[in-house]
Amino acid sequence: MKKPLLFWKSILGIFGFLLLQSCSINTTNHYHSDKKISFATDIDMREAMEMMKSFMPDSLSQGSDFMKSDKYPRDWKNLYEIQKEEGKVSTNPDSIKILKKLFFKGNFTEDNFKGFSVKSDPLTREELASVGTLMGKESSMMHNSAFEDWNGNILKIDMKKLQLSSDELKGIFKTGDKEKAEDEEGMEQFLSMMEMRINNKLVFDKKIKSVKGKHDWIKQLDNKTMEVNLDLKEMTNKDHKFTNQDAFIIIETE
């Protein structure tokens, strides 16, 4: 079985910790006419970093185990190259092919780390499924499978895939196979304090012909772009009252 990359797991460790403070995730999915999908995600941690400087200044030093941002590439580098630098090169040809289509870089203002970005080359639906395996369960916060049902002409969004239960969210950030009672209590407190905003732009090669279904989270920006704005607290609140809440949104292009 393929395992998430060691480098990527360390990134997501930082990602998960900073979510306790505040974080915004902006993703653009590009829907190509040949049925492929590419994505680009920017994760902005500046607000969380400023808060941590106030309360935990030593945690952001380059010498701390928590933050070693000097190892993050400042220019795009594919995950296969990063894996080679870790000394853990995959020998699976299918994995290598996909790793070479995924790119990562750290984002900085001068020498101050502010977040990171991930992007992909155009990928088939099967390749997208492998991305989740290679990058781990936490990657669902950056690229959600709800946006993958694309046949080159019609995108079908299953809205229930965007609604998370508290158990599903705990599963994303849980570490280890066993969980003690005190760990469970700590996780509950962690989730109650999380502030996360997720913006997804869905960009199509061809003009949008029709949109069937309505949902408070989704709106059309122009003749080729839809926007999905998510708030973590709404995503995990099964009792949240929506004005529009259709189960499926179907976007057809010309």
Strand partners, 225: 203, 222
Per-residue confidence band for 162, with pLDDT thresholds at 50, 70 and 90:
confident
Reported as a single tens digit per residue, the pLDDT across 203-241 is 999 999 999 999 999 999 999 999 999 877 777 777 788
Distance (Å, rounded) from C-alpha 82 to C-alpha 87? 9
pLDDT at 103 over 60: yes
Alpha-helical (H) ranges within 19-153 are: 46-55, 79-86, 93-99, 125-135
Instruction: Decide: helix, strand or coil at residue 158.
Output: strand
Contact present, 240 and 217 (Cβ < 8 Å): no
Is the torsion defined by CA of 10, 230, 49, 186 positive or negative?
negative
Distance (Å, rounded) from C-alpha 229 to C-alpha 232? 10
Compute the C-alpha angle 236/240/243, nearest 5°: 130
Per-residue confidence band for 85, with pLDDT thresholds at 50, 70 and 90:
confident
The tokens describing 117, both together, are 């970005």
Instruction: Decide: helix, strand or coil at residue 167.
Output: helix
- The pTM assigned to this predicted structure is 0.79
User: Residue 172, CB half-sphere, CA atoms under 13 Å: how many?
Assistant: 20
Compute the C-alpha angle 42/47/53, nearest 5°: 125
The tokens describing 133, both together, are 């395996």
Distance (Å, rounded) from C-alpha 123 to C-alpha 4? 19
The tokens describing 27, both together, are 């993703």
Strand partners, 104: 77, 118
Backbone φ and ψ for 189, nearest 5 degrees, come out as -65, -40
Compute the C-alpha angle 31/33/35, nearest 5°: 70
Reported as a single tens digit per residue, the pLDDT across 7-50 is 455 555 555 555 545 677 899 999 999 999 999 999 887 766 66
CA 243 remoteness from chain centre: 27
Distance (Å, rounded) from C-alpha 44 to C-alpha 107? 9
Pick 190 or 44 by higher pLDDT.
44
